Amino acid sequence: MSLATILSKIDHSLRPLLGNLDPRIFTHLYSATRPWFSAIAANDAIKPIIVPDTLKVRLRNLTFRSPIGNAAGMYKHAEGYERAYAQGAGFYLAGTTTSLPRKGNVKNGITLPFVPYPKSHAASNWLGLPNKGHIETAKHIATFSHYPEFPIGASVSMDPGMNISQGLEGLIEGIKAYQEAGCDFIELNESCPNVPGHATDHKTIDDSLIARLDAIADIIDLETYPVIVKFSNDTDPALIKPLMSILVDRKFAGINLGNTSTAYQKHASQIHADDKKHYEYFTKEYGGGLSGAIMRESSLQICSIAHEYLREHSIKDCIVIATGGIETSDDIRDALNTGAHLTQWYTGYFERFGVDGNKVYSNLYQQLEA
């Protein structure tokens, strides 16, 4: 049993008890240990599993060996590639980068604030897109081995606070760098709630979004190079079909619904009573994005609307990705039955890793095949 597995199983057992700590101490504890654990886990040496052929998913010229892979938040610095392949993920997605490096958010002496809600199977984070920049990360990805039917993706974002012209130039430069590095697809992150310029009321389609999409469509050959666009879990359901129309018209390869939520009041009723004090402390002190099981219902709702649009217009070369609340084989089935083609997990992955260790994917696939 690897060190990462041992540590995760210990944490899984102790986390509900640690939840009795003062919220400030609890937040400090998990914010401080999370990067340390992630570094250990990313270097886990694992014997690769065999993924059942029946789980393959195809998108244009790409084949994904299964319908589930990591969300962008899992491997912030494009680490853990060999681990993800060996564990059995269907694809690999490097964490969101910007043209300029970012250290991420710091407040109250805490770097990259994060807190789990143990009995709610949920979490909050206020990370702020820590990354080494498009170019540096692309150079690292260029060193990766390439495995059959295991696509490599990169998540990108325009730099928060940068003027539109400079920001678009850096964004396009980043996409091209990832193409040259051998990335098979791009995910454009339009959903991060933890940096200025990304938080919106999610009830309108703003002109800056259209400008970004047009700039990409004008320069990148989207018919041959897949670019997927990720939106928040809080996106107004009434906007989904208009967004799908915009993406399809410009030849984007798909939509990811959805990233974390800032609808704190809406989701408060889904937080276990024992987690309430941590939830109230973190959302008031840091804000940040909610993730985990509490996102499941809203993610499925908007995914179903996106799928309905594709069905109504007989569109075959655009996909829907469900992110939010994916933790079990039943969650994957529900997402696929709702119309999603692929799923991504983050909080749910760590919940299962605390139980299954490096069998996290193989156990999932056995249940999907049953």
Long-range contacts of the stretch 103-107 (C-beta < 8 A, 24+)? 103/130, 104/128, 104/129, 104/130, 105/194, 105/286, 107/285, 107/286
Instruction: Identify the pLDDT of residue 201.
Output: 56
Q: Which residues, 6 or more positions from 331, have their beta carbon under 8 angstroms from its beta carbon? A: 296, 325, 343, 348
* Contact predicate 284/318, CB 8 Å: no
Please name the residue that has the structure tokens 């770097």. Answer: 111
**Rounded Cα–Cα distance for residues 227 and 153 (Å):** 9
* Contact predicate 205/246, CB 8 Å: yes
Instruction: Identify the pLDDT of residue 200.
Output: 54
Instruction: Identify the pLDDT of residue 259.
Output: 81
Query: What separation in angstroms does the CA of 86 have from each of 4, 140, 175, 341?
Result: 15, 19, 27, 22
**Rounded Cα–Cα distance for residues 364 and 367 (Å):** 5
Instruction: Identify the pLDDT of residue 231.
Output: 95
> Which of 230, 134, 255 minimizes the C-alpha distance to 183?
134
List average pLDDT for each run of 10 residues in the chain, which is 370 residues long.
91 95 97 92 91 96 97 95 97 97 96 97 96 98 97 96 92 98 97 60 82 96 97 95 98 94 96 98 97 96 98 97 96 97 97 96 95
Plot region of 24 (φ>0 → left; ψ -120 to 50 → alpha; else → beta):
alpha
Q: Which residues, 6 or more positions from 118, have their beta carbon under 8 angstroms from its beta carbon? A: 15, 16, 18, 19, 274, 275
Instruction: Identify the pLDDT of residue 195.
Output: 57
> Which of 106, 118, 70 minimizes the C-alpha distance to 90?
70
Q: Identify whether 90 is preceded by a cis peptide bond (ω within 30 of 0).
A: no
Angle in degrees, 0-180, between the axes of helices 276-285 and 23-42, rounded to the nearest 10: 90
User: Angle at the Cα of 364 (from 362 to 366), degrees rounded to 5?
Assistant: 70
Instruction: Identify the pLDDT of residue 43.
Output: 86
Fold of 3-369: TIM Barrel (3.20.20)
Angle in degrees, 0-180, between the axes of helices 347-356 and 3-18, rounded to the nearest 10: 110
DSSP code, position 363:
H
Please name the residue that has the structure tokens 């933790």. Answer: 327
Instruction: Identify the pLDDT of residue 196.
Output: 57
Instruction: Identify the pLDDT of residue 194.
Output: 56
Q: Domain map of the chain by residue range?
A: 3-369
The amino acid present at 278, given as its one-letter code, is: H
**Rounded Cα–Cα distance for residues 156 and 348 (Å):** 23
Helix (H, G, I), strand (E, B) or coil at 112: coil
Whether the predicted model's global pTM rises above the 0.85 cut: yes
Q: Which residues, 6 or more positions from 346, have their beta carbon under 8 angstroms from its beta carbon? A: 70, 71, 73, 74, 291, 323
